[in-house]
């Protein structure tokens, strides 16, 4: 780890001591809400990570990733926001759009799309999510999956490329959860309601009490 990255990580710890950052690399523009955990060997370049999200070992979150929501569970060796190459240019090689090769003054190929991961998303080990993809709230990405298109809220997708195998709940329940947005609750309210989280029907009945 470079000295600048080390200093930045120490600054983040002072700014938000509830976060746990273990031997990982973070870019200087990243904003962490409280309770975020980032395990060793991960390289994080996204601009925002919501509270209590944890990122396991050896993950890569590329700079095309705009945000990762709250209460997300990201397993080890996950890749999010991997960049694309221009398919309609003369060449797909980055020499045509990256100045490090000495042919242009540009710094990269901009696809114009940002990767966004919603709240309460579970991403299994070794999954890859391409740049410009939107993952809806409550979605589950199966281990070893390759996500090439947007994922609907509360859907479960698996495979290469990833496809929907089912939804976590029925349509009416999903809509209610998206309206409740429990991930925006204050911690005190979460503690009060935590007893109903194991049963979706009890949760929906008591959510607005």
Active site residues per annotation: 85
DSSP code per residue over 160-207: TTTEEEEESS-HHHHHHHHHH-GGGS-HHHHHHHGGGTT-HHHHHHHT
Which CA distances in Å does 64 have to 68, 79, 146? 12, 12, 17
Query: Can you tell me the distance from the alpha carbon of 206 to that of 193, in angstroms, rounded to the nearest whole number?
Result: 8
- Per-residue burial over 101-135, b = 16 or more CB atoms within 10 Å of its CB, e = otherwise: eeeeeeeeeeeeebbbbbbbbbbbbbbbbbbbbbb
**What is residue 156's three-state secondary structure?**
strand
Q: Are 64 and 71 in contact (CB under 8 A)?
A: no
CA distances from residue 88 to 82, 114, 124, 139, 147 in whole angstroms, order as listed? 19, 20, 33, 32, 22
| Residue 155, beta-bridge partner list | 167
Cβ atoms 123, 144 nearer than 8 A: no
């Amino acid at each position: 780890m470079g000295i600048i990255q080390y200093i930045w990580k120490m600054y983040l710890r002072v700014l938000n001591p509830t976060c746990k950052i273990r031997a990982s690399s973070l870019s200087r523009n990243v904003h962490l809400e409280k309770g975020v955990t980032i395990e060793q060997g991960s390289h994080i370049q996204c601009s925002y990570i919501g509270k209590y999200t944890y990122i396991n070992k050896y993950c890569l979150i590329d700079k095309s990733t705009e945000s990762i929501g709250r209460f997300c569970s990201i397993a080890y060796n996950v890749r999010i926001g991997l960049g694309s190459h221009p398919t309609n240019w003369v060449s797909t090689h980055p020499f045509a759009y990256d100045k490090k090769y000495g042919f242009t003054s540009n710094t990269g190929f901009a696809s114009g799309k940002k990767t966004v991961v919603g709240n309460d998303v579970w991403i299994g080990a070794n999954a890859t999510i391409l740049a410009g993809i939107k993952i809806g709230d409550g979605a589950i990405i199966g281990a070893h999956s390759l996500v090439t298109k947007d994922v609907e809220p509360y859907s479960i997708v698996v495979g290469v490329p990833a496809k929907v195998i089912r939804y976590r709940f029925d349509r009416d329940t999903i809509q209610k959860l998206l309206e409740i947005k429990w991930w925006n609750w204050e911690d005190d309210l979460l503690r009060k309601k935590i007893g109903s989280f194991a049963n979706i029907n009890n949760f929906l009945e008591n959510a607005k009490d």
